[in-house]
Amino acid sequence: MINNRNLQTFFDCGFSKIRAAVFIKNNQNKVFYEESKFFTNHLNLNLEIQKMITSLESNNNEYIDNINLMLDSPKMLSVGISISKKLDGSILSQTNIQFLIQEAKQQILKYYKNYNITHIIINNYKIDGVNYSYLPNEIKCYFISLDILFICLPIDLVRYFKNIFSKSNILVKKIICSSYAKSINYKDNLSLTGHVSFIDLGFNKTSVISYFNDNVLSLDVLPIGGNNITKDISKILEIDLEQAEHIKNNYDKNLKLSNDFNFSSEIIQKVILARIQEILELCIKSIKSNISIQGQFKIVLMGEGSKILNNQYTNKFLSLYNMVLFEENTKNICQSGFKLEKGLNKKEIIVIPKKQTKHGFFEKLFHLFG
């Protein structure tokens, strides 16, 4: 039997599919994966998650009592803050940094009360007019400024999934923004530097995350995704969404579909291409509005919705917009959460909860990766 303390479990809960993995800490090669079928009806979501939990527990012969939860949302947001402080010229300490981060965090909590702070990333340390990517050791400081990016998810979404897992006596230990975790992992795997943007085309949203080297420049979310293509097909052909989803996913593979549903394959091709072009152009506009850059830049497409671009009719958009398609699966999605939790992004601040005291304080300030 595996000791539960040696388990790390990740659940990526998307709008149309759930993926999960159990990693064994002392055996990196032993991982158990689970993936749900495609769904849009969430009435049975509790049962689907419980079924996956049962299967994972059976496979690793151990009960799961906590998980790391990976989420995305059309309502997630990123907020950038620059915060500064005068000091006395003594050696800059992590306590000075912690104070500034805590002050910035309180501003986010004050103005975004309906959001859960999921990730805190320091992009730049400006010490006495000099910029540093990482906190220098043993440096004297009279004036410091931090550029901090907060990635946030809606509180109601977080509570919704926490309640689901709570019914199975499972604690949600950490919340992870799925798009962010995946982009960090894939950027590392592909050894990408300079300006690069990741477009995560999902079911009901598209997130756009832009980097310059190790700096997260922006995270933008568009309320449009693969389901909009499905709705277009459903409306034009006057068929239900399930049939439209089937046509969307198979129109280039089975010419008999046009006979089965009595439609012209050319019409469907036009519908799909028009909507994809609209989504990609909105993404390009978002990238250009958030970063200052001349000429071309690297773009990586990912997400369940991007799979429609992997065919002879639509992949022309990849070269048109200087994009590459990263084909995801349950393994690399869950590994993205695992690697981020281990500290893949050295710029990220880890919040360390502490036990409640008599004075009612619930958390420490922060701990910085070295």
Which whole number is the average pLDDT over 300-309?
88
Kindly indicate the confidence band of residue 258, based on its pLDDT and cuts at 50, 70 and 90: low
- Edge-to-edge strands, sheet with 206-212: 215-222, 206-212, 195-201, 298-302, 323-325
Phi, psi (deg, nearest 5) at residue 327: -85, 115
* Average pLDDT value for residue range 85-90: 96
Residue 318 has pLDDT above 70, yes or no: yes
In angstroms, the first-to-last Cα distance of the chain is 35
Across the chain, mean pLDDT equals 86
- pLDDT tens for each residue of 228-242: 999 998 898 888 888
Q: Tell me, what's the pLDDT at 11?
A: 98
Whether residue 31 contacts residue 89, with contact meaning beta carbons closer than 8 Å, is answered with no
What is the pLDDT at residue 135?
A: 92
Over residues 48-57, mean pLDDT? 95
Cα–Cα separations (whole angstroms), residue 80 to 102, 187, 346: 14, 21, 18
Q: Would you list the domain boundaries of the chain?
A: 4-73+157-177, 77-154+334-368, 191-325
**Residue with the larger pLDDT of the pair 26 and 210:** 210
Q: If pLDDT is split at 50, 70 and 90, which confidence band does 369 have?
A: very low
Highest mean pLDDT among 134-148, 241-255, 308-322: 134-148
Longest Cα separation, the chain: 78
- Work out the pLDDT band at 120, boundaries 50, 70, 90: very high
Helix H, strand E, coil C: the string for the chain is: CCCHHHEEEEEEECCCCEEEEEEECCEEEEEEEEECCCCCCHHHHHHHHHHHHHHHHHHHCCCCCEEEEEECCCCCEEEEEEEEEECCCCECCHHHHHHHHHHHHHHHHHHCCCEEEEEEEEEEEEECCEEECCCCCCCECCEEEEEEEEEEEEHHHHHHHHHHHHCCCCEEEEEEEHHHHHHHHHHHHCCCCCEEEEEEECCCCEEEEEEECCEEEEEEEECCCHHHHHHHHHHHHCCCHHHHHHHHHHCCCCCCHHHHCCCCHHHHHHHHHHHHHHHHHHHHHHHHHHCCCCCCCEEEEECHHHHHHCCCCCCHHHHHCCEEECCCCHHHHHHHHHHHHCCCCCCEEECCECCCCCCCCCECCCEECC
Residue among 230, 195, 239, 233 nearest 214 (CA): 195
> Would 77-154+334-368 and 191-325 be classified into the same CATH topology?
no
Band of residue 330 on the pLDDT scale cut at 50, 70, 90: very high
Mean pLDDT calculated for residue range 334-363? 69
CATH class of 191-325: alpha beta
Q: For residue 301, what pLDDT band results from cuts at 50, 70 and 90?
A: very high
* Residue 73 to residues 115, 155, 292, Cα–Cα distance (Å): 12, 11, 26
Q: Is beta strand 323-325 parallel, antiparallel or unpaired with respect to 143-154?
A: unpaired
Contacts of 28 (CB under 8 A, 6+ apart): none
**Average pLDDT rounded to a whole number, residues 326-347:** 93
Q: Is CATH 3.40.50.620 what the domain over 4-73+157-177 is classified as, yes or no?
A: no
Least confident of 21-30, 75-84, 133-142, 324-333: 21-30
What does the pLDDT read at residue 357? 38
Average pLDDT (118-136) is 95
Give residue 321's pLDDT band: very low, low, confident or very high (50, 70, 90): confident
The region of weakest confidence among 47-61, 122-136, 242-256 is: 242-256
CATH of domain 77-154+334-368: 3.30.1490.110
Q: Is the pLDDT of residue 170 over 80?
A: yes
